[in-house]
Protein backbone atom coordinates (compact mmCIF):
# COMPACT_ATOMS: atom_id res chain seq x y z
CA UNK A 1 0.00 0.00 0.00
CA UNK A 2 1.15 3.53 -0.86
CA UNK A 3 2.95 5.18 2.08
CA UNK A 4 0.66 8.25 1.99
CA UNK A 5 -2.37 5.95 2.30
CA UNK A 6 -0.70 4.00 5.12
CA UNK A 7 -0.07 7.25 6.96
CA UNK A 8 -3.73 8.26 6.70
CA UNK A 9 -4.86 4.82 7.92
CA UNK A 10 -2.43 5.06 10.85
CA UNK A 11 -3.76 8.51 11.76
CA UNK A 12 -7.30 7.13 11.97
CA UNK A 13 -6.23 4.07 13.97
CA UNK A 14 -4.30 6.17 16.49
CA UNK A 15 -6.33 9.37 16.40
CA UNK A 16 -9.48 10.66 18.09
CA UNK A 17 -11.89 8.34 16.24
CA UNK A 18 -14.52 6.04 17.76
CA UNK A 19 -13.73 2.39 18.39
CA UNK A 20 -16.26 1.07 15.86
CA UNK A 21 -14.45 3.03 13.13
CA UNK A 22 -11.06 1.67 14.22
CA UNK A 23 -12.42 -1.89 14.35
CA UNK A 24 -13.81 -1.53 10.81
CA UNK A 25 -10.41 -0.33 9.55
CA UNK A 26 -8.60 -3.24 11.26
CA UNK A 27 -11.03 -5.71 9.68
CA UNK A 28 -10.54 -4.17 6.22
CA UNK A 29 -6.74 -4.41 6.66
CA UNK A 30 -7.12 -8.16 7.09
CA UNK A 31 -9.93 -8.94 4.67
CA UNK A 32 -10.28 -6.13 2.11
CA UNK A 33 -7.00 -4.26 1.57
CA UNK A 34 -8.03 -2.94 -1.85
CA UNK A 35 -11.23 -1.51 -0.41
CA UNK A 36 -9.21 0.07 2.41
CA UNK A 37 -6.87 1.71 -0.10
CA UNK A 38 -9.83 3.14 -2.01
CA UNK A 39 -11.33 4.46 1.22
CA UNK A 40 -8.16 6.43 2.08
CA UNK A 41 -6.33 7.21 -1.17
CA UNK A 42 -7.75 10.76 -1.28
CA UNK A 43 -9.98 13.10 0.69
CA UNK A 44 -13.63 13.17 -0.32
CA UNK A 45 -13.83 16.36 -2.32
CA UNK A 46 -16.04 19.21 -1.11
CA UNK A 47 -17.10 20.62 -4.48
CA UNK A 48 -19.22 23.61 -5.44
CA UNK A 49 -22.36 21.68 -4.44
CA UNK A 50 -20.97 20.07 -1.28
CA UNK A 51 -20.09 16.42 -0.64
CA UNK A 52 -21.23 13.25 -2.36
CA UNK A 53 -19.76 9.78 -2.03
CA UNK A 54 -20.04 6.18 -0.93
CA UNK A 55 -20.73 5.70 2.79
CA UNK A 56 -18.12 4.01 4.98
CA UNK A 57 -14.96 4.63 7.01
CA UNK A 58 -12.09 6.61 5.52
CA UNK A 59 -11.15 10.01 4.16
CA UNK A 60 -12.75 9.21 0.78
CA UNK A 61 -16.12 8.21 2.24
CA UNK A 62 -19.24 9.81 3.66
CA UNK A 63 -19.06 9.33 7.43
CA UNK A 64 -19.36 11.27 10.70
CA UNK A 65 -15.84 12.66 10.40
CA UNK A 66 -15.91 13.85 6.78
CA UNK A 67 -19.34 15.40 7.39
CA UNK A 68 -18.19 17.00 10.65
CA UNK A 69 -15.03 18.48 9.10
CA UNK A 70 -17.01 19.87 6.14
CA UNK A 71 -19.49 21.46 8.54
CA UNK A 72 -16.71 23.01 10.62
CA UNK A 73 -15.22 24.57 7.48
CA UNK A 74 -18.64 25.88 6.43
CA UNK A 75 -19.21 27.26 9.96
CA UNK A 76 -15.83 29.00 9.88
CA UNK A 77 -16.73 30.72 6.63
CA UNK A 78 -20.12 31.81 7.99
CA UNK A 79 -18.43 33.25 11.07
CA UNK A 80 -15.87 35.11 8.93
CA UNK A 81 -18.67 36.45 6.73
CA UNK A 82 -21.09 37.54 9.45
CA UNK A 83 -18.76 38.23 12.37
CA UNK A 84 -20.68 38.57 15.64
CA UNK A 85 -24.10 38.74 13.97
CA UNK A 86 -26.58 35.97 14.74
CA UNK A 87 -26.17 33.11 12.27
CA UNK A 88 -29.17 30.83 11.66
CA UNK A 89 -28.86 27.58 9.70
CA UNK A 90 -31.59 25.18 8.52
CA UNK A 91 -30.94 21.44 8.10
CA UNK A 92 -32.96 18.70 6.41
CA UNK A 93 -32.43 15.16 5.16
CA UNK A 94 -34.03 12.49 2.98
CA UNK A 95 -34.69 8.75 3.40
CA UNK A 96 -31.19 7.49 2.64
CA UNK A 97 -29.33 5.28 5.09
CA UNK A 98 -27.51 7.46 7.66
CA UNK A 99 -29.17 10.67 6.42
CA UNK A 100 -30.69 11.38 9.85
CA UNK A 101 -27.36 10.67 11.55
CA UNK A 102 -25.49 12.99 9.16
CA UNK A 103 -28.13 15.71 9.62
CA UNK A 104 -27.84 15.48 13.42
CA UNK A 105 -24.03 15.50 13.18
CA UNK A 106 -24.24 18.64 11.03
CA UNK A 107 -26.69 20.27 13.44
CA UNK A 108 -24.46 19.50 16.45
CA UNK A 109 -21.35 21.03 14.83
CA UNK A 110 -23.12 24.23 13.75
CA UNK A 111 -24.73 24.51 17.19
CA UNK A 112 -21.40 23.96 18.95
CA UNK A 113 -20.08 26.89 16.90
CA UNK A 114 -22.69 29.12 18.51
CA UNK A 115 -25.14 29.10 15.59
CA UNK A 116 -28.93 28.82 15.86
CA UNK A 117 -29.91 25.61 14.11
CA UNK A 118 -33.34 24.67 12.73
CA UNK A 119 -33.44 20.89 12.26
CA UNK A 120 -36.46 19.14 10.74
CA UNK A 121 -37.94 16.45 13.01
CA UNK A 122 -37.71 13.77 10.28
CA UNK A 123 -37.13 13.40 6.54
CA UNK A 124 -38.35 16.25 4.28
CA UNK A 125 -38.19 17.13 0.56
CA UNK A 126 -35.16 19.23 -0.37
CA UNK A 127 -37.33 22.12 -1.68
CA UNK A 128 -38.85 22.58 1.78
CA UNK A 129 -35.33 23.26 3.08
CA UNK A 130 -34.88 26.02 0.47
CA UNK A 131 -38.25 27.47 1.51
CA UNK A 132 -37.37 27.28 5.23
CA UNK A 133 -34.05 29.11 4.74
CA UNK A 134 -35.92 32.05 3.23
CA UNK A 135 -38.87 31.87 5.63
CA UNK A 136 -36.67 31.83 8.75
CA UNK A 137 -34.09 34.34 7.52
CA UNK A 138 -31.27 31.79 7.72
CA UNK A 139 -27.75 32.57 6.57
CA UNK A 140 -27.24 29.05 5.21
CA UNK A 141 -28.64 25.55 5.00
CA UNK A 142 -27.66 21.92 4.48
CA UNK A 143 -29.61 18.92 3.22
CA UNK A 144 -28.19 15.42 3.61
CA UNK A 145 -29.03 13.54 0.42
CA UNK A 146 -27.38 11.98 -2.61
CA UNK A 147 -30.45 12.79 -4.70
CA UNK A 148 -31.10 9.95 -7.19
CA UNK A 149 -27.75 8.10 -6.81
CA UNK A 150 -27.59 4.39 -5.87
CA UNK A 151 -28.18 3.29 -2.26
CA UNK A 152 -24.46 3.10 -1.35
CA UNK A 153 -24.19 6.89 -1.66
CA UNK A 154 -25.04 9.83 0.51
CA UNK A 155 -24.26 13.51 0.26
CA UNK A 156 -24.32 16.98 1.74
CA UNK A 157 -25.73 19.92 -0.26
CA UNK A 158 -24.77 23.39 0.96
CA UNK A 159 -27.07 26.43 0.59
CA UNK A 160 -26.67 30.18 1.03
CA UNK A 161 -28.99 32.79 2.52
CA UNK A 162 -31.21 33.12 -0.58
CA UNK A 163 -32.18 29.44 -0.37
CA UNK A 164 -30.07 28.54 -3.42
CA UNK A 165 -26.99 26.36 -3.58
CA UNK A 166 -23.60 28.05 -3.31
CA UNK A 167 -22.45 30.26 -6.19
CA UNK A 168 -19.31 32.40 -6.58
CA UNK A 169 -17.62 33.70 -4.54
CA UNK A 170 -19.12 31.69 -1.67
CA UNK A 171 -18.63 28.26 -3.27
CA UNK A 172 -14.84 28.55 -3.68
CA UNK A 173 -14.47 30.38 -0.34
CA UNK A 174 -16.30 27.60 1.52
CA UNK A 175 -14.17 24.99 -0.26
CA UNK A 176 -10.99 26.73 0.98
CA UNK A 177 -12.27 26.73 4.57
CA UNK A 178 -13.27 23.07 4.37
CA UNK A 179 -9.88 22.09 2.94
CA UNK A 180 -8.20 23.95 5.82
CA UNK A 181 -9.76 21.51 8.32
CA UNK A 182 -7.20 18.69 8.24
CA UNK A 183 -7.71 17.27 11.75
CA UNK A 184 -10.88 16.00 13.43
CA UNK A 185 -9.69 17.69 16.61
CA UNK A 186 -10.39 21.03 14.91
CA UNK A 187 -14.10 20.18 14.85
CA UNK A 188 -16.42 21.43 17.59
CA UNK A 189 -18.52 18.31 17.95
CA UNK A 190 -20.87 19.12 20.80
CA UNK A 191 -21.83 21.56 23.53
CA UNK A 192 -24.49 23.53 21.67
CA UNK A 193 -27.63 21.40 22.15
CA UNK A 194 -29.58 24.42 23.44
CA UNK A 195 -29.08 26.12 20.06
CA UNK A 196 -31.04 23.45 18.15
CA UNK A 197 -34.73 24.08 17.38
CA UNK A 198 -36.84 21.31 15.85
CA UNK A 199 -39.02 22.10 12.83
CA UNK A 200 -42.22 20.21 12.07
CA UNK A 201 -45.85 20.70 11.07
CA UNK A 202 -45.88 24.51 11.17
CA UNK A 203 -43.20 24.74 8.49
CA UNK A 204 -44.92 21.99 6.47
CA UNK A 205 -48.17 23.96 6.52
CA UNK A 206 -46.44 27.20 5.51
CA UNK A 207 -44.69 25.44 2.64
CA UNK A 208 -47.85 23.69 1.39
CA UNK A 209 -49.80 26.97 1.62
CA UNK A 210 -47.12 28.48 -0.63
CA UNK A 211 -47.44 25.61 -3.12
CA UNK A 212 -51.25 25.92 -3.08
CA UNK A 213 -50.92 29.63 -3.94
CA UNK A 214 -49.27 28.62 -7.26
CA UNK A 215 -52.52 27.10 -8.54
CA UNK A 216 -53.88 29.03 -11.53
CA UNK A 217 -57.20 27.24 -12.05
CA UNK A 218 -58.58 25.85 -8.74
CA UNK A 219 -62.08 26.07 -10.29
CA UNK A 220 -61.02 23.58 -13.00
CA UNK A 221 -59.66 21.22 -10.32
CA UNK A 222 -63.03 21.42 -8.55
CA UNK A 223 -64.68 20.16 -11.76
CA UNK A 224 -62.03 17.48 -12.33
CA UNK A 225 -61.31 16.62 -8.69
CA UNK A 226 -61.62 12.90 -9.43
CA UNK A 227 -58.75 12.96 -11.94
CA UNK A 228 -57.20 9.52 -11.48
CA UNK A 229 -53.65 10.12 -10.21
CA UNK A 230 -51.01 7.47 -9.46
CA UNK A 231 -48.06 8.65 -7.38
CA UNK A 232 -44.86 6.95 -6.26
CA UNK A 233 -42.33 8.50 -3.84
CA UNK A 234 -39.82 5.73 -4.77
CA UNK A 235 -39.12 5.09 -1.04
CA UNK A 236 -38.26 8.76 -0.53
CA UNK A 237 -39.28 11.94 1.25
CA UNK A 238 -42.05 12.86 -1.20
CA UNK A 239 -44.46 10.74 0.84
CA UNK A 240 -44.30 13.36 3.61
CA UNK A 241 -45.89 16.17 1.57
CA UNK A 242 -47.00 15.18 -1.94
CA UNK A 243 -50.23 13.29 -1.05
CA UNK A 244 -51.28 16.03 1.39
CA UNK A 245 -50.45 18.77 -1.15
CA UNK A 246 -52.61 17.04 -3.80
CA UNK A 247 -55.42 16.82 -1.25
CA UNK A 248 -55.11 20.55 -0.50
CA UNK A 249 -55.25 21.30 -4.23
CA UNK A 250 -58.60 19.50 -4.24
CA UNK A 251 -57.73 16.15 -5.87
CA UNK A 252 -59.74 13.28 -4.37
CA UNK A 253 -58.67 10.26 -6.43
CA UNK A 254 -54.96 9.78 -5.64
CA UNK A 255 -53.48 6.26 -5.61
CA UNK A 256 -50.11 5.72 -3.92
CA UNK A 257 -47.84 2.94 -5.22
CA UNK A 258 -47.80 0.96 -1.96
CA UNK A 259 -44.71 -1.11 -2.83
CA UNK A 260 -42.69 2.13 -2.92
CA UNK A 261 -44.55 4.18 -0.29
CA UNK A 262 -42.39 3.45 2.76
CA UNK A 263 -39.21 5.55 3.10
CA UNK A 264 -36.29 3.11 2.82
CA UNK A 265 -32.66 3.94 2.07
CA UNK A 266 -32.13 0.48 0.58
CA UNK A 267 -34.61 1.29 -2.22
CA UNK A 268 -35.66 -2.38 -2.32
CA UNK A 269 -37.83 -2.24 -5.47
CA UNK A 270 -35.36 -0.40 -7.74
CA UNK A 271 -31.69 -0.53 -8.67
CA UNK A 272 -31.46 3.20 -9.18
CA UNK A 273 -34.01 5.53 -7.49
CA UNK A 274 -34.27 7.94 -10.41
CA UNK A 275 -37.69 8.79 -11.89
CA UNK A 276 -35.97 9.43 -15.23
CA UNK A 277 -35.49 5.66 -15.57
CA UNK A 278 -38.27 3.50 -17.04
CA UNK A 279 -37.24 0.56 -14.84
CA UNK A 280 -37.64 2.72 -11.72
CA UNK A 281 -41.11 3.85 -12.84
CA UNK A 282 -42.24 0.37 -14.01
CA UNK A 283 -44.25 -0.52 -10.88
CA UNK A 284 -46.05 2.81 -11.10
CA UNK A 285 -46.66 2.33 -14.83
CA UNK A 286 -48.22 -1.08 -14.17
CA UNK A 287 -50.51 0.42 -11.54
CA UNK A 288 -51.47 3.28 -13.86
CA UNK A 289 -52.39 0.75 -16.58
CA UNK A 290 -54.30 -1.42 -14.13
CA UNK A 291 -56.37 1.55 -12.87
CA UNK A 292 -56.66 3.22 -16.29
CA UNK A 293 -55.29 6.35 -14.63
CA UNK A 294 -55.04 9.83 -16.13
CA UNK A 295 -51.47 10.55 -15.00
CA UNK A 296 -48.53 8.88 -13.23
CA UNK A 297 -45.98 10.84 -11.21
CA UNK A 298 -42.81 9.78 -9.39
CA UNK A 299 -40.34 11.71 -7.26
CA UNK A 300 -36.74 10.87 -6.37
CA UNK A 301 -35.54 10.28 -2.76
CA UNK A 302 -35.23 13.98 -1.86
CA UNK A 303 -38.28 14.97 -3.96
CA UNK A 304 -36.67 17.55 -6.18
CA UNK A 305 -36.98 15.64 -9.49
CA UNK A 306 -40.25 14.47 -11.03
CA UNK A 307 -40.98 11.78 -13.60
CA UNK A 308 -44.29 11.79 -15.47
CA UNK A 309 -46.21 9.07 -17.30
CA UNK A 310 -49.19 9.70 -19.60
CA UNK A 311 -51.12 7.90 -22.32
CA UNK A 312 -49.96 8.84 -25.80
CA UNK A 313 -52.07 9.41 -28.91
CA UNK A 314 -52.36 5.62 -29.36
CA UNK A 315 -53.50 5.02 -25.78
CA UNK A 316 -50.11 3.53 -24.78
CA UNK A 317 -48.45 4.55 -21.51
CA UNK A 318 -45.22 6.47 -22.06
CA UNK A 319 -42.83 8.45 -19.87
CA UNK A 320 -42.34 12.09 -20.84
CA UNK A 321 -38.72 13.22 -21.05
CA UNK A 322 -37.45 16.16 -19.01
CA UNK A 323 -37.62 18.61 -21.92
CA UNK A 324 -41.24 17.71 -22.70
CA UNK A 325 -42.17 18.08 -19.03
CA UNK A 326 -40.51 21.49 -18.91
CA UNK A 327 -42.23 22.68 -22.11
CA UNK A 328 -45.66 21.65 -20.77
CA UNK A 329 -45.06 23.37 -17.43
CA UNK A 330 -43.57 26.58 -18.86
CA UNK A 331 -46.32 26.88 -21.46
CA UNK A 332 -49.09 26.34 -18.90
CA UNK A 333 -47.68 28.96 -16.53
CA UNK A 334 -47.41 31.48 -19.39
CA UNK A 335 -50.64 30.75 -21.25
CA UNK A 336 -52.89 30.06 -18.26
CA UNK A 337 -51.71 33.13 -16.34
CA UNK A 338 -52.39 35.31 -19.36
CA UNK A 339 -55.80 33.67 -19.93
CA UNK A 340 -56.69 34.18 -16.26
CA UNK A 341 -55.61 37.84 -16.36
CA UNK A 342 -52.85 37.48 -13.76
CA UNK A 343 -49.83 37.72 -16.08
CA UNK A 344 -47.55 40.71 -15.40
CA UNK A 345 -45.79 42.81 -18.07
CA UNK A 346 -42.46 42.08 -16.36
CA UNK A 347 -42.95 38.30 -16.07
CA UNK A 348 -39.84 36.22 -16.78
CA UNK A 349 -38.95 32.56 -17.13
CA UNK A 350 -35.49 30.99 -16.88
CA UNK A 351 -34.07 27.92 -18.57
CA UNK A 352 -30.57 26.53 -19.13
CA UNK A 353 -28.26 26.36 -22.12
CA UNK A 354 -28.68 22.57 -22.59
CA UNK A 355 -32.49 22.59 -22.26
CA UNK A 356 -34.79 22.56 -25.29
CA UNK A 357 -34.84 25.68 -27.48
CA UNK A 358 -38.60 25.19 -27.68
CA UNK A 359 -39.00 27.03 -24.36
CA UNK A 360 -37.38 30.11 -25.91
CA UNK A 361 -39.83 29.93 -28.83
CA UNK A 362 -42.85 29.61 -26.50
CA UNK A 363 -41.68 32.56 -24.40
CA UNK A 364 -41.00 34.67 -27.49
CA UNK A 365 -44.50 34.03 -28.92
CA UNK A 366 -46.09 34.78 -25.52
CA UNK A 367 -43.98 37.95 -25.18
CA UNK A 368 -42.43 36.78 -21.89
CA UNK A 369 -38.75 37.47 -21.16
CA UNK A 370 -36.74 34.23 -21.20
CA UNK A 371 -33.22 33.99 -19.77
CA UNK A 372 -30.76 31.16 -20.47
CA UNK A 373 -28.23 30.31 -17.73
CA UNK A 374 -25.62 27.62 -17.09
CA UNK A 375 -26.74 24.14 -16.08
CA UNK A 376 -27.89 23.90 -12.46
CA UNK A 377 -30.64 25.51 -10.41
CA UNK A 378 -28.13 27.60 -8.46
CA UNK A 379 -27.69 29.65 -11.64
CA UNK A 380 -31.46 30.08 -12.00
CA UNK A 381 -31.53 31.26 -8.37
CA UNK A 382 -28.64 33.65 -9.06
CA UNK A 383 -30.43 35.16 -12.09
CA UNK A 384 -33.59 35.75 -9.97
CA UNK A 385 -31.46 37.56 -7.38
CA UNK A 386 -29.77 39.64 -10.08
CA UNK A 387 -33.14 40.79 -11.52
CA UNK A 388 -35.03 41.15 -8.24
CA UNK A 389 -37.20 44.28 -8.31
CA UNK A 390 -37.06 44.44 -12.12
CA UNK A 391 -38.61 41.15 -13.21
CA UNK A 392 -41.39 38.93 -11.86
CA UNK A 393 -40.10 35.34 -11.80
CA UNK A 394 -42.73 32.76 -12.82
CA UNK A 395 -40.99 29.44 -13.54
CA UNK A 396 -37.56 27.95 -14.22
CA UNK A 397 -36.37 24.51 -15.16
CA UNK A 398 -33.97 22.29 -17.03
CA UNK A 399 -33.92 19.03 -18.97
CA UNK A 400 -32.91 16.91 -15.98
CA UNK A 401 -36.51 16.54 -14.75
CA UNK A 402 -36.41 19.64 -12.54
CA UNK A 403 -38.82 22.57 -12.20
CA UNK A 404 -38.82 25.58 -9.87
CA UNK A 405 -42.20 27.30 -9.78
CA UNK A 406 -42.90 30.57 -7.99
CA UNK A 407 -40.67 33.04 -6.20
CA UNK A 408 -40.47 31.57 -2.70
CA UNK A 409 -37.91 28.79 -3.22
CA UNK A 410 -34.54 28.68 -4.95
CA UNK A 411 -34.09 25.03 -5.89
CA UNK A 412 -35.92 22.49 -8.00
CA UNK A 413 -39.17 21.34 -6.41
CA UNK A 414 -40.97 18.13 -7.31
CA UNK A 415 -43.77 18.72 -4.77
CA UNK A 416 -45.08 21.82 -6.57
CA UNK A 417 -44.24 20.21 -9.94
CA UNK A 418 -46.44 17.18 -9.16
CA UNK A 419 -49.34 19.42 -8.07
CA UNK A 420 -49.08 21.72 -11.10
CA UNK A 421 -48.74 18.78 -13.51
CA UNK A 422 -51.93 17.31 -12.09
CA UNK A 423 -53.64 20.70 -12.46
CA UNK A 424 -52.48 20.81 -16.08
CA UNK A 425 -53.83 17.30 -16.68
CA UNK A 426 -57.15 18.39 -15.12
CA UNK A 427 -57.21 21.50 -17.32
CA UNK A 428 -56.67 19.47 -20.49
CA UNK A 429 -59.18 16.80 -19.43
CA UNK A 430 -61.72 19.57 -18.88
CA UNK A 431 -61.17 20.39 -22.56
CA UNK A 432 -61.44 16.73 -23.61
CA UNK A 433 -57.71 16.25 -24.08
CA UNK A 434 -54.66 14.57 -22.48
CA UNK A 435 -51.27 16.11 -21.75
CA UNK A 436 -49.89 14.19 -24.73
CA UNK A 437 -52.55 15.77 -26.97
CA UNK A 438 -51.43 19.15 -25.61
CA UNK A 439 -47.79 18.32 -26.34
CA UNK A 440 -48.60 17.57 -29.99
CA UNK A 441 -50.60 20.81 -30.23
CA UNK A 442 -47.57 22.71 -28.94
CA UNK A 443 -45.35 21.01 -31.51
CA UNK A 444 -47.72 22.18 -34.27
CA UNK A 445 -47.85 25.71 -32.85
CA UNK A 446 -44.22 26.30 -31.89
CA UNK A 447 -42.21 23.74 -33.86
CA UNK A 448 -41.43 20.07 -33.20
CA UNK A 449 -38.32 19.99 -31.01
CA UNK A 450 -36.86 16.67 -29.90
CA UNK A 451 -33.92 16.09 -27.56
CA UNK A 452 -31.75 13.25 -26.34
CA UNK A 453 -28.41 12.82 -24.61
CA UNK A 454 -25.66 10.27 -24.17
CA UNK A 455 -23.08 10.03 -21.42
CA UNK A 456 -19.61 8.65 -22.18
CA UNK A 457 -17.30 7.43 -19.40
CA UNK A 458 -13.55 7.15 -20.03
CA UNK A 459 -12.26 4.72 -17.43
CA UNK A 460 -8.80 4.40 -15.98
CA UNK A 461 -6.10 6.82 -14.94
CA UNK A 462 -6.13 8.60 -18.29
CA UNK A 463 -9.92 9.09 -18.40
CA UNK A 464 -9.92 12.78 -17.45
CA UNK A 465 -7.10 13.53 -19.90
CA UNK A 466 -8.89 11.77 -22.77
CA UNK A 467 -11.96 13.94 -22.16
CA UNK A 468 -9.86 17.10 -21.88
CA UNK A 469 -8.18 16.20 -25.19
CA UNK A 470 -11.57 15.59 -26.79
CA UNK A 471 -12.80 19.06 -25.73
CA UNK A 472 -9.56 20.70 -26.88
CA UNK A 473 -9.88 19.02 -30.26
CA UNK A 474 -13.42 20.35 -30.70
CA UNK A 475 -12.27 23.84 -29.66
CA UNK A 476 -9.36 24.05 -32.05
CA UNK A 477 -10.93 22.16 -34.94
CA UNK A 478 -14.73 22.39 -34.77
CA UNK A 479 -16.49 20.15 -37.32
CA UNK A 480 -17.37 21.92 -40.56
CA UNK A 481 -20.61 19.94 -40.83
CA UNK A 482 -22.50 17.45 -38.66
CA UNK A 483 -24.77 14.82 -40.23
CA UNK A 484 -24.78 16.72 -43.52
CA UNK A 485 -25.67 20.13 -42.09
CA UNK A 486 -23.10 22.95 -42.01
CA UNK A 487 -21.98 24.10 -38.52
CA UNK A 488 -22.61 27.84 -38.50
CA UNK A 489 -22.11 28.76 -34.83
CA UNK A 490 -19.68 27.66 -32.12
CA UNK A 491 -20.45 28.73 -28.54
CA UNK A 492 -17.53 28.27 -26.14
CA UNK A 493 -18.60 28.96 -22.57
CA UNK A 494 -15.09 28.35 -21.21
CA UNK A 495 -13.68 31.13 -23.37
CA UNK A 496 -16.99 33.04 -23.01
CA UNK A 497 -17.02 33.51 -26.76
CA UNK A 498 -19.51 32.92 -29.55
CA UNK A 499 -18.29 32.61 -33.11
CA UNK A 500 -20.02 32.57 -36.49
CA UNK A 501 -17.93 30.02 -38.39
CA UNK A 502 -19.18 31.30 -41.75
CA UNK A 503 -18.60 35.06 -41.37
CA UNK A 504 -15.88 34.91 -38.72
CA UNK A 505 -17.83 37.32 -36.50
CA UNK A 506 -17.37 36.77 -32.73
CA UNK A 507 -19.05 38.06 -29.56
CA UNK A 508 -18.76 37.75 -25.79
CA UNK A 509 -21.01 35.31 -23.91
CA UNK A 510 -22.24 37.08 -20.78
CA UNK A 511 -22.26 34.03 -18.50
CA UNK A 512 -19.74 32.70 -15.95
CA UNK A 513 -17.03 30.43 -17.37
CA UNK A 514 -18.04 26.80 -17.82
CA UNK A 515 -16.42 24.01 -19.81
CA UNK A 516 -19.24 23.63 -22.33
CA UNK A 517 -19.15 23.73 -26.14
CA UNK A 518 -22.18 24.06 -28.39
CA UNK A 519 -22.41 23.59 -32.16
CA UNK A 520 -25.43 25.00 -33.98
CA UNK A 521 -26.01 23.79 -37.52
CA UNK A 522 -27.69 25.34 -40.52
CA UNK A 523 -30.80 23.16 -40.04
CA UNK A 524 -31.24 24.38 -36.43
CA UNK A 525 -29.76 21.35 -34.67
CA UNK A 526 -27.82 22.03 -31.47
CA UNK A 527 -25.15 19.72 -30.07
CA UNK A 528 -23.71 20.45 -26.62
CA UNK A 529 -20.60 18.84 -25.08
CA UNK A 530 -20.28 19.12 -21.30
CA UNK A 531 -17.66 17.20 -19.25
CA UNK A 532 -18.21 16.38 -15.60
CA UNK A 533 -16.00 18.35 -13.24
CA UNK A 534 -15.54 15.43 -10.84
CA UNK A 535 -15.75 12.21 -12.90
CA UNK A 536 -14.11 10.95 -16.12
CA UNK A 537 -17.43 11.45 -17.90
CA UNK A 538 -18.71 13.68 -20.70
CA UNK A 539 -22.32 14.33 -21.70
CA UNK A 540 -23.48 15.15 -25.21
CA UNK A 541 -26.89 16.79 -25.56
CA UNK A 542 -28.68 16.73 -28.91
CA UNK A 543 -31.57 18.96 -29.96
CA UNK A 544 -33.17 18.71 -33.39
CA UNK A 545 -36.36 20.18 -34.81
CA UNK A 546 -38.74 20.22 -37.74
CA UNK A 547 -42.20 21.51 -38.66
CA UNK A 548 -45.29 19.53 -37.72
CA UNK A 549 -48.31 20.53 -39.78
CA UNK A 550 -50.92 18.17 -38.36
CA UNK A 551 -51.39 15.57 -35.62
CA UNK A 552 -51.54 12.70 -38.13
CA UNK A 553 -47.93 13.37 -39.15
CA UNK A 554 -46.57 13.06 -35.59
CA UNK A 555 -45.24 9.48 -35.82
CA UNK A 556 -43.48 10.03 -39.14
CA UNK A 557 -41.91 13.30 -37.98
CA UNK A 558 -40.87 11.76 -34.66
CA UNK A 559 -39.10 8.92 -36.49
CA UNK A 560 -37.42 11.50 -38.73
CA UNK A 561 -36.06 13.41 -35.69
CA UNK A 562 -34.94 10.23 -33.93
CA UNK A 563 -33.02 9.21 -37.05
CA UNK A 564 -31.43 12.66 -37.25
CA UNK A 565 -30.05 12.32 -33.72
CA UNK A 566 -28.70 8.83 -34.50
CA UNK A 567 -27.05 10.24 -37.63
CA UNK A 568 -25.41 13.00 -35.55
CA UNK A 569 -24.12 10.46 -33.02
CA UNK A 570 -22.72 8.27 -35.81
CA UNK A 571 -21.15 11.22 -37.64
CA UNK A 572 -19.45 12.47 -34.47
CA UNK A 573 -18.28 8.87 -33.76
CA UNK A 574 -19.73 8.95 -30.25
CA UNK A 575 -20.68 5.27 -30.26
Q: Which residues are catalytic?
A: 147
Residues 6+ apart with CB under 8 A from 242: 231, 233, 297, 299, 303, 414, 415, 418, 419
Q: Residue 433: is it exposed, middle or buried by C-beta count within 10 angstroms (0-12/13-18/19+)? A: middle
DSSP secondary structure code for residue 44 in this structure: P
Q: Are strands 448-457 and 537-546 parallel, antiparallel or unpaired?
A: antiparallel
Rg of the chain (C-alpha set): 24
Among the listed residues 480, 477, 509, 479, the one whose alpha carbon sits nearest the alpha carbon of residue 495: 509
Among the listed residues 115, 43, 119, the one whose alpha carbon sits nearest the alpha carbon of residue 77: 115
| 415: three-class secondary structure by DSSP | helix
210/570 Cα distance (integer angstroms): 47
H helix runs in 146-192, sequence order = 170-179
Among the listed residues 382, 440, 423, 399, the one whose alpha carbon sits nearest the alpha carbon of residue 541: 399
544/454 Cα distance (integer angstroms): 15
Identify the sign of the CA torsion 433, 434, 436, 438: positive
Amino acid sequence: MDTAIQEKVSNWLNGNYDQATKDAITQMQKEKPDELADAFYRNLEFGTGGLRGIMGVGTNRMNKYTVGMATQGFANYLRKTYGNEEVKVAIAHDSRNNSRFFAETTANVFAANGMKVFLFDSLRPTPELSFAIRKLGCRAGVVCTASHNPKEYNGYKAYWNDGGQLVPPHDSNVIKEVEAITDVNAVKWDGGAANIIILGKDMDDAYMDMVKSLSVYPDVIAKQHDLKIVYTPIHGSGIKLVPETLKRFGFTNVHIVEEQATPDGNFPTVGYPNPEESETMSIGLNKAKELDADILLGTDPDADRVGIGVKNHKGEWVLMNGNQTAVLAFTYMMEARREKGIAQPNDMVITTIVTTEMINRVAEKNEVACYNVLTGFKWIAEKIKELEGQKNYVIGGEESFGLMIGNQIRDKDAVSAVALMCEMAAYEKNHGKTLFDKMIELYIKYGFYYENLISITKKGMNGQKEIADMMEGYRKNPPAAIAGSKVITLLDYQLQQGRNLVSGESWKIELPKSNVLQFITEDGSKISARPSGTEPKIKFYFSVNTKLEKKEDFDAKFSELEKKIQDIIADMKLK
